[in-house]
């Protein structure tokens, strides 16, 4: 049995979708979603498809479709739970329902919805999201595939004009896909209207390539062996005009291109923006995989002993070691922080979706947060699963103990749905834009510093209850120096100061860079890249902390609330610790405070070590899905065994 504290933590972290998540936990067995990690590629693929179809038939893992039950935010919750089972199956679902189905939903019209969504949902139409090409991945706007309107037959002709225009790394393209949403440059009447997407056949029912289509199987990868990634090449393939996903533009019945959005650039980013759910899902799935790894490593650290305990007799439990606490506890705190942040963004997604583009500011903020969280969480995931593997020693390297497959599968989350380095630059650009809007065209040099506070409040949209945060910061200002380190207001102030200062500095440098032309301009902007990443990190860290603060304010149980406050302290202070060089460089605090932060993190680790069991229970990973042979049975498992 999970402890009452663990249960209460889980409810709090599950957020709005606690019921949906409990339904997964009670109805989905390990046979439904946990893969045998030794399955070779061919068998892993068969397994993933079979399980996907089964889940869909039972109403799991599918939501957010027109005329089907389940909201968009619920689709994120489904995706999160599936990530706790198996990441290949998770990504197979992401390709079929999230990307392929999502593109038809968001870029298509009711004509497409009526004809294709049922088949997408029940997997009778398996499809691909064919955007990336061999030559262009991050730079989607430069894809070379063409979708040319042919007035003579009222069709589009899809073509791959060069070797580098071959679609690559496309999920479902290696074997299972029958259709694809293909992105290419729409050319009508000789004019390029920018990137659009068209729905087309790629294979017949027997799996043979459709006429003019050449599919390729990219075979073995570093992980995700259950997903059949492949290539697509088009040799002047004709597709009926109605198959263009033309919600934002296309050739009309008169044979003329039309779009509500005049600017090609704006049109492109609007279309891409509707696909934001993918980034939220990737970030949240990575975070869930990390929860699973942390659960395995922490449970192992609570059962495993090594070296004699001086005096007391017996051996020392791994989690009693300071170094081991330092490995696991700050990451457990980060797991809570990121879970709360995903909950907030998932609600933002629902709001933006409900208002169908009527609030472009909200949509842009959502895209920025989705990008920042995706990059930040997947980086953390890669580092943390590896750390968990190492924390379990040689046992951690045995496939049967559940960590190495997680590590291999989660790896590419840093790359797909946007390379992390590129995404963080997108975040920084958005921050600069916000900054510029607040500050206008005034020359910032000189005046920026004095107006920093005011300016900060203007350009920095606080995630959540702005008044709560303002009050916390004001309270902290009044506290004696010695107490500040544990004052939430001081943490918030530090996170805000860092974001504001980094963005302001970046704005000044980019303004200077903007005065150059051509190669010199490239060089000047290029020199700011590290600064851009720093701005994006600072922003995302602040968004995460504010989500945590907001979540705590909603917890009624006093004990759980006090526990979450300590977990939040650990998240905030370990993040400040990670960035303490920056804070000292910018005189936010001195060397004494910096060392005090490290001491405080040590103290919190020691303090929370006694609650490690409850804290990992609260991460909400069912024991039956852990798939880790080395873990000793818990009371729950023992009870089940003795009852049987």
Q: Which of residues 562-581 bind a second copy (CB under 8 A)?
A: 580-581
Interface residue with a second copy, options 11, 398, 465, 565 (CB under 8 A)? 398
> Which part of the chain contacts a second copy (CB under 8 A), choosing from 101-109, 206-214, 353-361, 388-396?
388-396
Nearest C-alpha neighbor of 575 from the set 389, 368, 272, 333? 333
Binding mask 207-226 for a second copy (x = CB under 8 A): -----------xxxxxx---
Helix, strand, or coil (residue 233):
strand
Q: At what angle do helices 558-578 and 4-14 cross, to 10 degrees?
A: 60
Q: Which of residues 235-294 bind a second copy (CB under 8 A)?
A: none
Helix, strand, or coil (residue 357):
coil
Interface residue with a second copy, options 19, 26, 31, 40 (CB under 8 A)? 40
Location of structure tokens 């050449």:
214
Q: Which of residues 100-159 bind a second copy (CB under 8 A)?
A: 132, 136-139, 142
Query: Residues with Cβ < 8 Å from 129, sequence gap 6 or more?
Result: 95, 99, 100, 102, 103, 170, 171, 180, 181
Binding mask 503-542 for a second copy (x = CB under 8 A): --------------xxx-xx---xxxxx--x---------
> Which part of the chain contacts a second copy (CB under 8 A), choosing from 193-201, 251-259, 285-293, 397-405?
397-405
Helix, strand, or coil (residue 578):
helix
Interface residue with a second copy, options 298, 420, 463, 613 (CB under 8 A)? 420
* Total residues interacting with a second copy, rule: CB under 8 A: 78
> Which part of the chain contacts a second copy (CB under 8 A), choosing from 18-26, 319-327, 615-623, 631-639?
319-327
Interaction of residue 303 with a second copy, rule CB under 8 A: no
Nearest C-alpha neighbor of 306 from the set 314, 297, 315? 315
Q: Least distance to a second copy from the beta carbon of 595, Å?
A: 6
Q: Least distance to a second copy from the beta carbon of 548, Å?
A: 24
**Could you give the CA distance from residue 31 to residue 478 in angstroms, rounded to a whole number?**
56
Interface residue with a second copy, options 29, 252, 308, 447 (CB under 8 A)? 308
> Which part of the chain contacts a second copy (CB under 8 A), choosing from 20-28, 300-308, 446-454, 466-474?
300-308
Contact in structure between 103 and 245 (CB atoms under 8 Å): yes
Binding mask 596-635 for a second copy (x = CB under 8 A): ------x---------------------------------
Interaction of residue 75 with a second copy, rule CB under 8 A: no
Tokens at 506, concatenated:
């970046």
Interface residue with a second copy, options 411, 493, 499, 550 (CB under 8 A)? 411
Burial degree of 606 (CB within 10 A; 0-12, 13-18, 19+): middle
- Between 323 and 358, name the residue whose CB sits nearer to a second copy: 323
Query: Residues with Cβ < 8 Å from 277, sequence gap 6 or more?
Result: 64, 72, 75, 76, 98, 102, 349
> Which part of the chain contacts a second copy (CB under 8 A), choosing from 32-40, 72-80, 453-461, 616-624?
32-40
Interaction of residue 449 with a second copy, rule CB under 8 A: no
Query: Residues with Cβ < 8 Å from 576, sequence gap 6 or more?
Result: 491, 494, 495, 583, 597
Binding mask 168-187 for a second copy (x = CB under 8 A): xx------------------
- Between 428 and 547, name the residue whose CB sits nearer to a second copy: 428
Q: How far is Cα of residue 403 from the mean position of the Cα atoms in its chain?
A: 20
**First-to-last C-alpha distance (Å) of the chain:** 16
Q: At what angle do helices 360-391 and 322-354 cross, to 10 degrees?
A: 160
> Which part of the chain contacts a second copy (CB under 8 A), choosing from 153-161, 267-275, 401-409, 454-462?
401-409
How many residues does the structure list for the chain?
Answer: 644
**Could you give the CA distance from residue 250 to residue 243 in angstroms, rounded to a whole number?**
10
Tokens at 147, concatenated:
């979708």
Angle at 293 between CA 567 and CA 20, to 5 degrees: 75
Interaction of residue 358 with a second copy, rule CB under 8 A: no
Q: Least distance to a second copy from the beta carbon of 223, Å?
A: 7
Local structure of residue 60 (DSSP, 8 states): -
Interface residue with a second copy, options 23, 25, 264, 326 (CB under 8 A)? 326
- Between 139 and 258, name the residue whose CB sits nearer to a second copy: 139
- Between 150 and 525, name the residue whose CB sits nearer to a second copy: 525
Q: Least distance to a second copy from the beta carbon of 583, Å?
A: 9
- Between 140 and 362, name the residue whose CB sits nearer to a second copy: 140
- Between 520 and 640, name the residue whose CB sits nearer to a second copy: 520
Interaction of residue 314 with a second copy, rule CB under 8 A: no
Binding mask 581-600 for a second copy (x = CB under 8 A): x--xxxx---x--xx-----
Interface residue with a second copy, options 262, 312, 442, 641 (CB under 8 A)? 312
Local structure of residue 203 (DSSP, 8 states): B
Interaction of residue 479 with a second copy, rule CB under 8 A: no
Helix, strand, or coil (residue 228):
coil
Nearest C-alpha neighbor of 345 from the set 544, 95, 537? 544
Interaction of residue 204 with a second copy, rule CB under 8 A: no
Interaction of residue 3 with a second copy, rule CB under 8 A: no
> Which part of the chain contacts a second copy (CB under 8 A), choosing from 13-21, 336-344, 409-417, 470-478?
409-417
Nearest C-alpha neighbor of 387 from the set 412, 415, 413, 407? 407
Q: What is the DSSP string of 412-481?
A: GGGTTTS-HHHHHHHHHHHHHHHHHHHHTTS--TTHHHHTHHHHHHHH---SS-HHHHHHHHHHHHHS-H
């Amino acid at each position: 049995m999970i402890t009452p504290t663990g249960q209460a933590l889980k409810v709090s972290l599950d957020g709005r979708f606690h019921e949906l998540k409990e339904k997964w936990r009670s109805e989905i067995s390990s046979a439904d979603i946990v893969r045998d990690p030794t399955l070779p590629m061919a068998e892993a693929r068969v397994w993933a498809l079979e399980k996907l179809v089964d889940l869909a038939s039972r109403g799991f893992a599918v939501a957010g479709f027109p005329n089907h039950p389940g909201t968009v935010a619920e689709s994120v919750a489904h995706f999160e739970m599936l990530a706790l089972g198996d990441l290949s199956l998770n990504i197979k679902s992401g390709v079929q329902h999230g990307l392929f189905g999502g593109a038809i939903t968001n870029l298509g019209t009711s004509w497409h919805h009526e004809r294709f969504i049922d088949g997408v949902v029940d997997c009778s139409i398996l499809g691909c999201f064919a955007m990336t090409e061999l030559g262009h991945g991050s730079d989607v706007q430069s894809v070379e595939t063409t979708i040319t309107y042919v007035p003579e037959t009222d069709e589009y002709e899809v073509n791959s004009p060069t070797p580098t225009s071959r679609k690559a790394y496309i999920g479902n393209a290696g074997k299972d896909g029958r259709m694809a949403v293909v992105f290419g440059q729409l050319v009508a009447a000789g004019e390029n209207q920018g990137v659009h997407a068209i729905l087309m056949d790629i294979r017949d029912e027997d799996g043979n390539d459709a006429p003019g289509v050449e599919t390729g199987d990219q075979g073995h990868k570093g992980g995700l062996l259950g997903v059949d990634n492949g290539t697509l090449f088009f040799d002047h393939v004709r597709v009926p005009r109605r198959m263009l996903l033309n919600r934002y533009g296309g050739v009309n019945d008169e044979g003329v291109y039309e779009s509500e959005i005049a600017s090609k650039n704006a049109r492109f980013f609007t279309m891409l923006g509707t696909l934001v759910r993918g980034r939220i899902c990737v970030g949240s799935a990575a975070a869930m995989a990390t929860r699973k790894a942390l659960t395995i490593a922490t449970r192992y650290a609570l059962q495993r002993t090594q070296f004699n305990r001086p005096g007391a007799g017996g051996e020392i439990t791994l989690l009693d070691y300071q170094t081991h606490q330092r490995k696991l506890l700050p990451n457990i705190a980060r797991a809570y922080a990121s879970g709360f942040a995903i909950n907030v963004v998932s609600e933002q997604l629902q709001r933006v979706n409900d208002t169908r583009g009527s609030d472009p500011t909200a949509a842009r903020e959502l895209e920025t947060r989705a990008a920042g969280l995706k990059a930040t969480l997947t980086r953390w995931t890669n580092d943390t699963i590896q750390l968990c593997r190492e924390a379990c020693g040689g046992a951690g390297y045995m496939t049967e103990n559940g960590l190495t497959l997680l590590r291999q599968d989660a790896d590419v989350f840093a790359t797909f749905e946007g390379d992390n380095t590129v995404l963080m630059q997108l975040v920084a650009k958005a921050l600069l834009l916000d900054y510029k809007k607040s500050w206008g065209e005034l020359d910032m040099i000189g005046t920026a510093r004095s107006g920093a506070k005011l300016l900060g409040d203007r350009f920095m949209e606080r995630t959540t209850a702005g008044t709560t945060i303002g009050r916390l910061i004001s309270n902290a200002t009044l506290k004696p120096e010695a107490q500040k380190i544990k004052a939430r207001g001081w943490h918030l102030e530090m996170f805000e100061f860092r974001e504001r200062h980094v963005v302001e500095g970046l704005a000044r440098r980019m303004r200077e860079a903007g005065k150059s032309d051509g190669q010199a301009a490239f060089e000047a902007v290029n020199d700011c890249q590290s600064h851009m990443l720093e701005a994006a990190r600072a922003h995302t860290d602040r968004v995460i902390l504010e989500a945590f603060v907001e979540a705590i304010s909603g917890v009624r149980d006093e004990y759980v609330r006090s526990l979450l406050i300590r977990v939040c302290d650990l998240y905030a202070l370990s993040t400040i610790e990670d960035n303490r060089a920056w804070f000292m460089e910018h005189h936010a605090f001195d060397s004494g405070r910096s060392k005090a932060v490290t001491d405080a993190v040590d103290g919190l680790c020691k303090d929370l070590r006694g609650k490690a069991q409850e804290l990992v229970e609260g991460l909400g990973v069912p024991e039956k899905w852990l798939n880790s042979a080395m873990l000793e049975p818990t009371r729950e498992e023992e009870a089940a065994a003795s009852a049987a």
